[in-house]
Amino acid sequence: MPNLVPPVKNTSDALAYRERILQALQQADIEERYKQSFDPRMTLYLTDTTTVADIQQAAESGIVQAVKLYPAGATTNSADGVTNLSARNDVFEAMQKHGLPLLIHGEVTDSHVDIFDREKQFVDTTLNNLVTQFPELKIVVEHITTGDAADFVLSQGEHVAATITPQHLLFNRNHLLVGGVKPHFYCLPILKRQQHQQVLLDVATSGNPKFFLGTDSAPHATHTKENACGCAGCYSASIALPLYATAFDSVGKIDRLEGFASQFGAQFYGLPVNEECITLVNEPMQVPDSYAYMDQKTLTPLMAGETLPWSIKHD
């Protein structure tokens, strides 16, 4: 995710960010074989100043996998996002030429558009025009939340795909709002109606390779979520696979999880399928109430303190 402060705007930024990740990995208390096999794939933050030369350099770097579009003001740390998409046509042409995918946070930001309609509006206008103008540009509509987005992806060729988060498979806006606002369910795009949740479950568990895992996990410290103006984003990285397993099993499609989680995304990006294995078992696990975080802070995961029916087997 390139929406840091400051954002990752070019290949030099991406290389420096990747080095910080690898340094942190070496200090982590995990098995050496995982340290050796972990290969962080980087993305650039598309801005109003991104150039064709930036795209060419990224494509030739070997470590930049894609370019991320956050419309300005659409989500956390999106102030540097694109304000005029049509002014970026030369950049999209360069991405199409070099085979560098565009990853999209698909929402309009017009103040008059209802927050629950912003994804549909983006799909009907901006996304439809983008696909028409650049028919060979590989696109991933990330963390889709509506049946409208799912239907759009289904209607396009193999060059258009989508990711789905665990929270959008497991929850809808009632979980966020009924009985009081639950800050740890607040993310953008926001949770939608139950009917949209059902469509997402249908496509995620269908075995269609156009839909694959994308957690959009956001490690906001607890105090930044639980305040008068809380950050958008759910932290799920530590328990993502048990969460997805719970969602898939809820509709009797646990056999479809491996493709969604481990194969389809790699195939879309032209990456080798990981040879390491993780074993999920149908045994309960309790989600921690919190994790220790930076500078004596805490990090509260999605479903903190709850019990999930699936867990990861540890040797």
**Active-site residues: which are they?**
216
The contacts found for 35-39 with CB under 8 angstroms, 24 or more apart, are: 37/274, 37/276
Structural tokens at position 75: 């989500």
Contact 215, 192 (CB under 8 A): no
Structural tokens at position 183: 């800050």
Nearest to 191 by CA among 218, 169, 213: 169
Q: Which residues contact 104 (CB under 8 A, 6 or more apart)?
A: 68, 69, 127, 139, 140, 141, 142
Q: How far is CA 257 from CA 204, 262, 280, in A?
A: 9, 8, 10
Q: 253 among the known binding-site residues? A: no
SS3 annotation, 89-143? HHHHHHHHHHCCCEEEECCCCCCCCCCCCHHHHHHHHHHHHHHHHCCCCCEEEEC
Q: 216 among the known binding-site residues? A: yes
Q: 188 among the known binding-site residues? A: yes
If you count them, how many residues does the chain have? 315
Q: 3 among the known binding-site residues? A: yes
Q: Show binding-site residues for Zn(2+).
A: 68, 105, 143, 216
Q: Show binding-site residues for substrate.
A: 3, 105, 188, 220, 232
Q: Show binding-site residues.
A: 3, 68, 105, 143, 188, 216, 220, 232
